[in-house]
Structure 1
Amino acid sequence: MEKSSTPARRRVALIDWVMLLLALASVVALGYESWGPVTDTQRRLIIAGDFTFCAIFALEFLWRWRGVRWEAAFLKRNWYEILGMIPAAHPAIRAFRLFRVFRIVVMLSRVGAAADRALGEDFTYLFVNRFKNAIVDSISDAVTVAVLDEVADVLGRGTYTRNISRALRENEAHLRSMIFEKLRQDPKAGRLSRLPFYKDISEALVDAGFRIVEEVLSDPRTDELVADILRENIKQLRGAVVLNNATP
């Protein structure tokens, strides 16, 4: 009687189910902290709990690595588990751009690593391979929306009009000479050069124009206007991405 060439499935140990439950619990806590009505006390508890989860994941990972005598191949096979050990709830991590996307990656890494052990080493691979198109579309749209949100936040705090005003002051001499050159070359404005005190009048007008433009650019209301315009454009782009994701 021939023996089957298919290797026996590894028996799932109790620790594998425990790690899966811990991963799910940590993901639920992070999800609640990200999108739920969290108080300051609850947030502190979630941060402390996340540190505890990460410590358990790290110790268990080191224990398994020690079991294979610290082979480098173990890290290559299980590199994504290291992402799951990052304390994504810590305030220092929140300072990074695209924090929400990073947190989702950490959450998926925790669940994927634990699911592979409890449900089979190829579970996450087969699951992702089966639904990879839907997953890629969802993640790409989520990343785009997160990037647009971050861009809108940065643009809303920008001082672009003051940057333009500073650039005008630095290049005022060059701009003045260019304006006078264009006035001389203009067929209609060139006729005014025959008028008395033409040079003094044109210089006074150019000076007044520079002063008015600089005052307008320095006015906080102009900053608010530019920020509103940029914010509306970002909002339209964000809405288009969400609508594209919702369209079958």
Structure 2
Amino acid sequence: MATPLEAAPSTGRRAVDIAMLALAVLSVALLTYVTFATVSPETAQAVFVIDTAICAVFAAEFVWRWRIERWNRRFPLRHWYEVLGMIPVAHPALRSLRLVRIVVLLLRLARTTDRVFGERATQRFAERFSRPIVDAIKKPVTVAVLDEVAKVLETGRYPRNIARAVDEHRDLLRDLVTEKVKSDPQAGALSRLPFHDEVLRSLVDTTIRVLLDVLADPRTDEFFSGAVRENQAQIRAAVAQGLHEREVP
């Protein structure tokens, strides 16, 4: 069953499509030019004015099509890429945000694709190929992020951070351990022994001092870095082999 937009008068619809196609091609060309070429400030400003005017036409045409669809709430969701593609990113101040410009450029290419191959060509393409595309890029992205996180962890001094936290809360830890020992069914029976509290406090303080020395020792940093590297290698291998995607029987 045809949608209200598809049922619109063919002559007027075709004329609008041709005009929007021409504007889409022009906007893509202008955005590509100011993104990848070296232009003067005057040229960049002129392109921005033209691009903003084109975006305004895109917005008006988008509202017109939405009105024909009887303000269907799903219409903007189906054409979300058009909404984002209306952002006038040709402003000279946004020149450093090249990635944003490239994204908008791709979205406008999607709009052009719709004009050439049909109203929902981009939507059908995304539905058909989004899964293979995601599958193709998610492993390299995951490994790259993992490598960056591992580098940060290896260069940090996290055992020493733990040591500082233990030292700052030494009294709290002493009281906590003492309380747990006294409430333990087996160790609590020793509370009847002479000088129990003094001995227990001395043992706790000694344990904390030894723990602080161990955490502050450079060899602990080496141990932590080695553990991170080993786990990183295992995770990278698991991601590469797709072990995390296999169903558990």
TM-score, length of structure 2 as denominator length: 0.54
Residue identity opposite 1:173 in structure 2: D
Contact 1:23 1:114 in 2 (8 A): no
Q: 2:55 aligned to 61, 72, 83, which one?
A: 61
Q: Is the 8 A contact 2:31 2:101 kept in 1?
A: no
- 1:208 to partner: Cα distance: 1.9
Matches within 5 A, 1:68-79: 73=66, 76=76, 78-79=79-80
Unaligned segments of structure 1, at least 5 residues: 30-41, 95-99
Q: Residues 153-232 of structure 1 correspond to what in structure 2 (within 5 A)?
A: 155-156=153-154, 160-161=158-159, 162-163=161-162, 165-167=164-166, 169=170, 170-179=172-181, 185=187, 203-219=201-217, 222-223=220-221, 225-232=223-230
Distance 1:241 1:63 in 2: 46
Residues 155-187 of structure 1: per-residue CA shift (max 9 Å, x gap):
456664324652562322111343466696399
- When residues 154 and 22 of structure 1 are mapped into structure 2, their CA distance, relative to the original with a 3 A threshold, is farther
TM-score, length of structure 1 as denominator length: 0.54
Stretches of structure 2 that go unaligned for 5 or more consecutive residues are 1-6, 68-74
Paired with 2:53 and 2:146, the residues of 1 have a C-alpha distance of 38
Q: 1:136 to 1:226 in 2, by over 3 A?
A: same
Change (3 A) 1:174 1:16: closer
Other-structure match for 2:71: none
Q: Distance in 2 between matches of 1:86 and 1:176?
A: 65
> SS at the partner of 2:18?
coil
Aligned position for 1:123:
121
- Map 1:29-44; keep pairs closer than 5 Å: none
User: Partner residue of 1:37?
Assistant: none
Q: Secondary structure at the match of 1:63?
A: helix
Q: What is the CA distance between 1:211 and its match in structure 2?
A: 0.5
Deviation at 1:204? Answer: 3.5
User: In structure 1, the residue corresponding to 2:242 is in which secondary structure?
Assistant: helix
- The residue matched to 1:171 in structure 2 has which SS? helix
Change (3 A) 1:232 1:92: farther
**Among candidates 20, 27, 37, match of residue 19 of structure 1:** 27
Checking the alignment, whether the CA contact within 8 Å between 1:23 and 1:110 is kept in structure 2 is no
Match of 1:11, SS state, is helix
Residues 37-60 of structure 1: CA distance to partner in whole angstroms, max 9, x if unpaired? xxxxx9xx69x9999988765442
- Compute the displacement of 1:111 (Å): 3.5
Tell me which residue corresponds to 1:138: 136
Q: Distance in 1 between matches of 2:24 and 2:241?
A: 40
Quote the Cα distance in structure 2 between the aligned partners of 1:115 and 1:23.
17
Does structure 1 conserve the Cα–Cα contact (< 8 Å) formed by 2:174 and 2:201? no
In percent, how many aligned pairs have the same letter?
Answer: 30
Structure 2 CA distance for partners of 1:172 and 1:131, relative to 1, 3 Å: same
Q: Do 2:139 and 2:239's aligned partners in 1 also have CA atoms closer than 8 Å?
A: yes
* RMSD (CA atoms): 5.3
Q: Residue 232 of structure 1: CA displacement? A: 4.0
Matched with 2:239 is: 241
Give the Cα–Cα distance (whole angstroms) in 1 for the partners of residues 229 and 134 of structure 2: 27
| Structure 1 residue 62: Cα displacement | 1.4
Given that residues 128 and 135 in structure 1 are in contact (C-alpha distance below 8 angstroms), is that contact kept between their aligned partners in structure 2?
Answer: no
Q: Is the 8 A contact 2:113 2:121 kept in 1?
A: yes
User: Any idea what the Cα deviations from partners look like across 1:115-159, whole Å, max 9, x if unmatched?
Assistant: 334554333223223324312423544664465456446645666
Matched pairs, number: 212
